[in-house]
Structure 1
Amino acid sequence: MLDRYHPSNWQIDWIAIGEAALLVAIAVSIAYALYRAVFAIVRRLTALSETHVDEMVVERVRRPVKWSFIAIGVTIVAQTDPHLQGVWEPIARFVRPALLGWIVYTLVKAFTAALEYRLEISDDPVAMRSRRTRIAILSRTATFAIILITVGLMLMGIPGVRDIGTTMLASAGLAALAVGAAAQPALKSLIAGLQMAVTEPLRIGDLVKVDGETGRVEEIKMSFVTVRTWDERVLIVPTSRFLDQSFENWSRKNEALTGAVMLHLDPVADIDPIRTEFERFVTTHTLFDGRNMALLMTAAYPESVELRLSVSAKTIGELFELRCDLREHMLKWLRENQPDALIRHRLELPGGHAKAEEPAAPGA
């Protein structure tokens, strides 16, 4: 009875293997030729378009479509040969969902690149930041969903995994609670990212102030946001932080802002000449946009007065530079024209103090 398991009794049907290999080679050749013909026609059609977006999308999906043509060709041939079907079908359980997920993934990336390409020719910086933010968040969400579904379909091709999944359906309620509890942070980040894309409390490129730090938003991920400060530090802020707590967005609609320079002067200061010089300097400055300019005395104390010099500029960076120039110029002008207006805290003892010059008493 055991003689049939002896290696001398093993027989390999080389003819069947050769026929199957020949069929596979023919199927692959026909599928590749068909792929080349189809894409030649598609490229000619995209060449007639006035934009490069069509060519960008076609080029990105070319590779997964090529392998999909080959897989379809092998599947069709396998239907005519039982031996080939027995070998190909277990492999196809993994190949089919993988190719499908690859095609959808490349389509998402292609359309994302196409939309970003269109944004580069936009003249509205605020609208560009808004669309870039939505594109980035939604593309990452779609990518995550595609990978998750593709891996799930591939695992379902394993009989053991499929059987385990069928068995666990009996306790689906407890499993759902356990998964929900374990995935709560991930689900919270996912929902926060989607809400960020829809409501847009901030966008890529916005200047924000969070936790006492000011910087530009560089990236918006599903779970965190990166903010680069003026000194090139990078703040990693959880996405939910911008939805649960308040923060400052200095470029929500546009970057035109009004800023102030505060001067604390002696009460003897003559305000009218200071206002005249302030208005003369600001109106001749190249960074002033002409919207807001005002000098107001916002506080008066027995030993000082507070002046607020308000100016405006088109961008946040220009406003910062304008305020620095204004602060430096006004202090220089005050030193040259109203030195008594600058506050000084000094103790002057002309001729010294009489008691300080008396000799100390004996025994003191």
Structure 2
Amino acid sequence: MELFNFENEHFRLLLMSAVFLVAAFILSVWLYRIMKRILKENKNPSWKNIASVIQYPFKALVLLIAIVFIRSHIGVTDIYGIKIGLILYILFLTVMSWLGISIVKAIKIAVIAGYDVNESDNLKARKMHTQMRVFERISIFLILFITLALILLSFETIREIGVSLLASAGIAGLIIGFAAQKSISMLLAGFQIAITQPIRIDDVVIVEGEWGRIEEITLTYVVVAIWDKRRLMVPVNYFIDTPFQNWTRQSADILGSVFIYVDYGFPVDKLREYMDEALANNPWWDGNVKVLQVTNCTEKSMELRALASAKDSPSAWDLRVKLREDLLEFLRLSYPEYLPRTRVKMVDDEPSSSKKQV
């Protein structure tokens, strides 16, 4: 057949293209292995995973460069009216966007690898995880936005429309800005949270009366994992505009409080002595803080507040529950007569002289 004749120009071009593509694929694999070997020599173990994250966009980029070289050598400009240069340009932008996103993810993996949020004192780790997650989302958004804009501007029709609308860009900008002011405010709030960090990943907060942990921070909303496994979705600007409680702002350790109500005659020192014994046998107490004080008095009872410290908020919850049980059991067994009681005084208003004498 004439098609497979070496003297046939189309066959020679086809064979040369195939050789170039195979060579490009081999080159991409070779370069990837060299890069993987270099990254493995790094002392940080997280760098070993970077090569696997960027391998596919890297190989695709090498193959695309080979295709561009083949196209420039052959000199083909269009096929059936389709511009080859435009298609390659769009593919190049797509692959570069893919590679950019992969690099951002690889950088995040490398940075947060040395920070474990599962440690007891994880303040610095939560800070780094929060910053990297927010900056990752912002970077991916900007990469996709710029890529899409460049792809749209590559079409002549869209460019002409853009030039014709340039005169009314001021009015259009005002309309778009007014319509998107909430989205823009949320985006700016996301930047502010990443920098100032009023909240971090795994922070313990009270939002809208609910106790929970910060599970996820995005550009537009924050996910709070409630203690009963519900999820509270909160707009990100809520944490800028509205007061809320952050129990782990400065450190992971936390104080747990238990309130006990007893009669006025109760010997507080006895309960204080027993509290020392109860905390010594409490596995969730970290050994730092133990205080029992009279914090209030009402017409019916005294209010006692027991304070004890734990290494983190889950431990503080278990600490409080166990301590409350122990103190109540001590009162029930040792001093049941001093449990809160209601006093009633019976008053006889009838004069004694009017009573019948028997």
Give the match for residue 71 of structure 1. 64
SS of the aligned residue for 2:292 comes to strand
Residue 186 of structure 1 is matched in structure 2 by: 183
Q: CA RMSD of the aligned region, Å?
A: 2.5
The C-alpha deviation readout for 1:87-130, integer Å capped at 9, x for no partner, is 52121231121121111111111222222333249965111111
CA distances 1:131-186 after superposition (whole Å, capped 9, x unpaired)? 11111110011011111111111111222112111212121211211221222222
The answer for the alignment partner of 1:12 in structure 2 is none
Give the conservation status (yes or no) of the 8 Å contact 1:27–1:70: no
2:265 to 247, 265, 268: 268
Q: Which amino acid aligns with 1:117?
A: A
- Alignment of 1:94 with 2:86, yes or no, is no
Is 1:115 the counterpart of 2:111 in the alignment?
Answer: yes
Structure 1: which amino acid aligns with 2:196? T
2:29 aligns with 36
- Pairing partner for 1:163 from 145, 155, 160: 160
How many Å apart are 1:54 and its aligned residue?
A: 3.3
List aligned pairs for 1:1-364, cutoff 5 A.
Answer: 17-18=10-11, 20-84=13-77, 87-120=83-116, 124-345=121-342
State the TM-score, normalized to the length of structure 2: 0.85
**Structure 2 unaligned regions, length at least 5:** 1-7, 347-358
How many residue pairs get aligned? The number is 335
- Is the CA contact 2:224–2:233 (under 8 Å) kept in the aligned structure 1? yes
Q: Greater shift after overlay, 250-259 or 52-61?
A: 52-61
Please give the alpha-carbon distance, in whole angstroms, between the structure 1 residues aligned to 2:137 and 2:20.
37
Q: 1:296 to 1:180 in 2, by over 3 A?
A: same
Aligned residue type for 2:27: L
Shift of 1:237: 0.7
- Report the secondary structure of 2:165's partner residue: helix
Aligned to 2:353: none
Stretch moving more, 273-282 or 115-124: 115-124
In structure 1, stretches of 5+ residues that fail to align are: 1-14, 350-364
Aligned partners of 1:259, 1:90: CA distance in 2, in Å? 65
Deviations 1:283-311 (CA, angstroms, capped at 9, x unpaired): 44333323222222222334322222222
Contact 2:300 2:342 (C-alpha < 8 Å) held by counterparts? no
> In the alignment, residue 41 of structure 1 is paired with which amino acid?
I
Distance across 2 between alignment mates of 1:333 and 1:296: 17
- 1:248-267 CA-partner distances (Å, limit 9, x unpaired): 11111222222222222222
Q: Which moved more, 1:253-262 or 1:165-174?
A: 253-262
SS at match of 1:119: coil
Q: Is the 8 A contact 2:262 2:338 kept in 1?
A: yes
Q: Compared with structure 1, are the counterparts of its residues 321 and 32 closer, same or farther at alpha carbon in structure 2 (3 Å cutoff)?
A: closer
Greater CA radius of gyration, 1 or 2? 1
8 Å CA contact 1:78–1:85 kept in 2: the answer is no
CA distance change for structure 1 residues 291 and 49 in 2, over 3 Å: closer, same or farther? closer
TM-score computed with the length of structure 1 as normaliser: 0.84
Change (3 A) 1:266 1:169: same
Please say if residues 116 and 122 of structure 2, whose CA atoms lie closer than 8 Å, have aligned partners that are also in contact: no
Q: Mark the CA change 1:275 to 1:159 in structure 2 (over 3 Å): closer, same or farther.
A: same
